[in-house]
């Protein structure tokens, strides 16, 4: 599981519910008010389903797993080292020598780039093909991001609807003063769930998906630049310096220190 997601979710839950207890509220009341939960959870998800094709909603479980697990680890420095190694071999033996090496590359996008270069694909066509894949991937990612963003927009509104129903039910029993306080408290349970789900889960999940997409796009752009330079026959040293611009300065220094030590 991705550490930031797990720690952040735990802090949000602990902060909210421990704070509620310290304020004198009864958290159990939040979970036993089934009508409020139905209105907010089911109502907001239903509204999101109206906004999106059913296939996107059916796939949302896998998307949320992505939020929890994060991206597959792609070390920029390791990718650069691999590109430089391949560039050295291509300069010495020609691009065709990379045909067997390409089969050992685990990253499908990287492997495809090397295979296209080995096949003698026109540089402009190669760049367009790889960039088209990046654009398509970014668009696919936007579907999940928008799903959670919409859920975060709709949930508080359904929380207000639940509160309205709760107050309506309370107003119908004004002849029983003892029940008014309990009824008003119960009415605001729906508001709590709407606001908590939106700001504690849905919108943070959308933001995490955007961040994960940016990381994946950055990795693929690094690969595209590396493959293009390799195909053009650029010096391995120049390729390394070019690609290191994608790496934060602190990591560059660390990588160079390790290389010098080796």
Maximum CA extent, the chain: 92
Question: pLDDT value at position 254?
Answer: 58
Is residue 219 a contact partner of residue 76, using CB atoms and an 8 Å limit? Answer: yes
- The model's pTM: 0.85
Question: pLDDT value at position 30?
Answer: 85
Question: pLDDT value at position 253?
Answer: 59
Question: pLDDT value at position 101?
Answer: 85
Boundaries of every domain in the chain: 26-262
Handedness of CA 219, 223, 225, 226 (dihedral sign): positive
Q: Report DSSP letters for 214-237, one per residue.
A: HHHHHHHHHHHHHHHHHHTT--HH
- List of the chain residues with pLDDT < 70: 178, 181, 250-262
Question: pLDDT value at position 166?
Answer: 87
Separation CA 225–CA 31 (nearest Å): 52
Question: pLDDT value at position 183?
Answer: 76
Question: pLDDT value at position 248?
Answer: 76
Question: pLDDT value at position 262?
Answer: 46
Question: pLDDT value at position 258?
Answer: 54
């Amino acid at each position: 599981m991705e550490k930031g997601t797990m720690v952040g979710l735990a802090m949000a839950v602990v902060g909210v519910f421990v704070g509620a207890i310290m304020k004198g509220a009864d958290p159990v009341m939040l979970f036993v008010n089934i009508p409020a939960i139905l209105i907010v959870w089911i109502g907001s998800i239903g509204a999101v389903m109206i906004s999106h094709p059913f296939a996107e909603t059916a796939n949302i479980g896998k998307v949320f797993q992505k939020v929890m697990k994060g991206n597959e680890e792609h070390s920029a420095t390791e990718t650069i080292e691999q590109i430089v190694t391949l560039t050295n071999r291509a300069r010495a033996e020609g691009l065709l020598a990379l045909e067997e090496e390409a089969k050992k590359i685990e990253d499908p996008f990287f492997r495809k780039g090397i295979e296209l270069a080995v096949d003698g694909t026109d540089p402009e066509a190669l760049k367009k093909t790889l960039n088209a894949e990046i654009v398509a991937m970014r668009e696919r990612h936007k579907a999940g991001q928008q799903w959670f963003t919409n859920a975060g927009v709709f949930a508080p509104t359904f929380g207000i609807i639940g509160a309205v129903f709760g107050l309506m039910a309370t107003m119908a029993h004004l002849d029983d003063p003892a029940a008014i306080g309990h009824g008003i408290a119960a009415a605001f349970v729906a508001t709590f769930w709407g606001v908590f789900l939106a700001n504690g889960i849905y919108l943070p999940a959308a933001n995490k998906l955007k961040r994960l997409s940016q990381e994946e796009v950055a990795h693929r752009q690094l690969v595209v630049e590396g493959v293009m330079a390799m195909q053009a026959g650029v010096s391995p040293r120049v390729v390394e310096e070019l690609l290191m611009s994608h790496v934060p300065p602190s990591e560059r220094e660390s990588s160079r220190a390790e290389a010098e030590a080796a």
